[in-house]
Structure formats: structure tokens, C-alpha cells
Amino acid sequence: MASRGRKRKAEAALAAAAEKREKPAGGQDGGVEGPSVVIEHCQALRLQAPELVVKVNPARPRRGSFEVTLLRADGSSAELWTGLKKGPPRKLKFPEPHVVLEELKKYLS
């Protein structure tokens, strides 16, 4: 027995989602032209240490990994966070911003 209206409802939902994506968010782009992505941790790092350059995925990320690394001017690196051995649950793989900022303060002072 065929279901009634499910196909039409699904098509209507897809059309509504497509319309929503096409409409620009008025006044919430902060003066940035075109689309933008906000990553909470990057914003926290940029506010704490504006002189630091924040790179998001400079190389293809490994599956299931989330790491934050400080690259120093002398070429050495310091791991601020690794979620590789954390979890399950999956949410444990991702740090709270204050945890990363505390580690950053240790290495910058």
C-alpha cells in the first residue's frame, strides 16, 4: 500500500531547504563578503592571541582525529589538544575552548 503525501512532503522540505540556503543572512556576516564558516575554537584562539595565525586543516585530516597544535617560529611544535584516544562518546574527542586556551597560555608564557 502506497503512503499518502510522504513523497510530496519530502519534496516540499527539500525545496524549502534549498530556498533557505540561497537566501543570505542579512546583517550577520560581520562585513565579510560571501559565505563564511565560524569555528568556535578558532574564534576563541583569535580573541586570546590575535597575533597567531590559525590554520584549519592545512592537510587532509585523518579519520576520527581532532588535534590542536602550536607551531613555533623555531620550527618546533607543541600539542595543545588531541582527541585521538578520547571517547566514546564522540563528544569527548572535542575540547572545550577554555581547555585549549589554558594550554596555549602555558606555551606562550
In the block, cell 575554537 appears at 41
88-100 tens-digit pLDDT: 888 888 888 888 8
Given a cut of 60, is residue 22 above it in pLDDT?
no
Return the number of other C-beta atoms located less than 10 Å from residue 45's C-beta.
20
52-88 tens-digit pLDDT: 888 888 888 777 778 888 888 888 888 888 888 888 8
**Which distant-in-sequence residues (6+ apart) come within 8 Å of 67 by Cβ?**
79, 81, 82, 83, 84
What are the CA-CA distances from residue 92 to residues 11, 68, 88 (Å)? 36, 14, 7
Q: What is the pLDDT of residue 24?
A: 45
Query: 98: which 3 cell numbers?
Result: 577554555
Quote the percentage of the chain above a pLDDT of 90: 1
| Host H or E run for residue 77 | strand 77-82
